[in-house]
Amino acid sequence: MKVVLAKHLISCAEGAPALQHDIGIVIQDGRITQMAPIDSLKELLAAPGTEVIDPGESYVMPGLIDAHLHLCFDSTDNPITALDSESADVTLLRMAAAAQTELRSGVTTVRDCGAKGNSIFHLRDQIRAGVLEGPDIIACGAPITVTGGHCHFLGLEVDSLDEVEKAVRQLCKDGADFIKVMVSGGNMTPGSNSLINQYGYEALSIITREAHARGKRVAGHIHTTVGIQNAVRAGFDTIEHCSFKDSTGRQDVDFSMDLVKEIRDHGISVCPAFGKGYILPPEEGAPLPDKVAMWAAFQNSRFFTTEQMFDAGINVAAGTDAGCKRTFFHEFPLTLEILHSKVHMPIYDVLLSATIRAAKALDIETMTGSLEVGKNADLIFVSDDPTKDLQALRKLRGVIKGGNVVFLHA
């Protein structure tokens, strides 16, 4: 049994104060079994076998959740290169290293939104079994895309309605935790166009029908307004990026508040997936050289549409898109700072987007996302108060994952 003495506690639990003081967190078998004022736990603290963890003046909060990344990408200027040139074994080793970097940056749960082959499932399972250190991984495997479509190099190209149906069934058989669909094209794949709608409503409906029948949620990579409309009608659970782009080829914003209200009223979460590329100059941040001209406008429009969605009450989950160009696996605090500075989300809302609101988007809020009795003992310790300054998350003093101390600096 362990007891963490939280002099400053940010539980991120619904209805709880943003900041509490002098709370003891009792941990047993990897879960939180009790939370109470430290003064009321004197007998337990003095009992033989109780391990007391005193982080001093650190601020204690839930482990963070990165709701959108790609462990198989290498964060270079062209992340596709490594996948094309290396063996699956080498890719698996890189993914393991990336996962450990996330954990040691305070991220205790990640949702991998697209990997090559099935090795991501093996990595997930070995971490869960305790063979490797790492965050909990929620994985889709290869995303569903059309022939030559966005991220086709990850290995799952399907076109007809029958192929789409079979692809969902195969992914579920292989062990996918959720289904990811490239509803529109994307910006990092040569030859792809983010304004193209790769699948129509009928295909998306088949995907959700097959996935939901097997207890799997569906996430859609979508840049176009038409694609968003089709995904909402089809019953998607999360929308990634959600860019509201005009699909006539003009790269203009085709924003619809009526559609925003539909997303909200259907309980669909949005993960904008803002990485470093969104704050770099266009010539540095653009995923490909031929995207430079449009990238500045794309950056600004994404901030605008995300702010409108947040203000309308949509559940926004924080995600980095780490692994993509110049977006590294230790940079989750940067994504949170972008949500505050560019999307104008209040600091505490940003913290919730990386904890309990992300957990709700991923349907894991009964297990993690806040510090509450019955949930996984995933905790981080930071030197300064992140409810006042998000840069405090860059000053990480420790991580506990599933009740096990990953590291804790004095």
Q: What is the CATH number of the domain that holds 252?
A: 3.20.20.140
Q: Are residues 307 and 378 in the same domain?
A: no
Q: What is the largest CA-CA distance in the chain?
A: 70
Lookup result for tokens 């290869």: 142
When mean pLDDT is compared across 129-143, 293-307, 379-393, the lowest value belongs to 293-307
Q: What tokens were used for 397?
A: 């003093």
Angle between helix axes 201-213 and 225-234 (nearest 10 degrees) is: 40
Q: Are residues 40 and 118 in the same domain?
A: no
Cα separations (Å) of 125 from 128, 138, 156, 176, 266? Answer: 5, 10, 22, 11, 32
pLDDT of residue 319: 98
Check pLDDT > 80 for residue 251.
no
Instruction: Express as a percent the part of the chain with pLDDT over 70.
Output: 100
Check pLDDT > 80 for residue 410.
no
Q: Are residues 92 and 189 in the same domain?
A: yes
Q: What tokens were used for 292?
A: 């430079």
Which residues have C-beta within 8 Å of that of residue 215, sequence separation ≥ 6? Answer: none
pLDDT of residue 290: 86
Check pLDDT > 90 for residue 249.
no
**What does the buried/exposed string (b/e) look like for 178-189 if buried means 16 or more CB atoms within 10 Å of the residue's CB?**
bbbbbbbbbbbb
Check pLDDT > 90 for residue 248.
no
pLDDT of residue 63: 98
Which pLDDT band, with edges at 50, 70 and 90, does 227 fall under? Answer: very high
Q: Are residues 255 and 265 in the same domain?
A: yes
pLDDT of residue 50: 97
Check pLDDT > 80 for residue 136.
yes
Q: Are residues 241 and 323 in the same domain?
A: yes
As a whole number of angstroms, the distance between CA 119 and CA 72 comes to 10
Chain segment 279-330, per-residue pLDDT in tens: 999 999 999 988 898 888 889 899 999 999 999 999 999 999 999 999 999 9
pLDDT of residue 138: 98
**What does the buried/exposed string (b/e) look like for 1-16 if buried means 16 or more CB atoms within 10 Å of the residue's CB?**
ebbbbbbbbbbbbeee
Q: Are residues 151 and 22 in the same domain?
A: no
Which pLDDT band, with edges at 50, 70 and 90, does 247 fall under? Answer: confident
Q: Across the chain, what does the average pLDDT equal? A: 96
Could you list the residue range(s) of the whole structural domain that residue 380 is in? 2-62+370-408
As a whole number of angstroms, the distance between CA 143 and CA 158 comes to 10
Tell me, what CATH number does 379's domain have? 2.30.40.10
Q: Are residues 95 and 173 in the same domain?
A: yes
Q: Are residues 122 and 9 in the same domain?
A: no
Q: Are residues 212 and 350 in the same domain?
A: yes
As a whole number of angstroms, the distance between CA 360 and CA 390 comes to 22
Q: Are residues 282 and 390 in the same domain?
A: no
Which residues have C-beta within 8 Å of that of residue 198, sequence separation ≥ 6? Answer: 145, 146, 149, 150, 182, 183, 184, 185
Which residues have C-beta within 8 Å of that of residue 183, sequence separation ≥ 6? Answer: 197, 198, 199, 204, 220, 221, 222, 224, 227, 230, 231
Beta bridge partners of 51: 2
Q: Are residues 54 and 111 in the same domain?
A: no
CB 62, CB 380: distance < 8 Å: yes
How many structural domains does the chain have? 2
Chain segment 83-118, per-residue pLDDT in tens: 989 999 999 999 999 999 999 999 999 999 999 999
pLDDT of residue 131: 97
| β 20-28/178-182 pair status | unpaired
Chain segment 137-180, per-residue pLDDT in tens: 999 999 999 999 999 999 999 999 999 999 999 999 999 999 99
Chain segment 345-358, per-residue pLDDT in tens: 999 999 999 999 99
Which pLDDT band, with edges at 50, 70 and 90, does 243 fall under? Answer: very high
Q: Are residues 104 and 231 in the same domain?
A: yes
Q: Of the candidates 177, 258, 273, which has an alpha carbon nearest to the alpha carbon of residue 223?
A: 273
Mean pLDDT of 208-236: 98
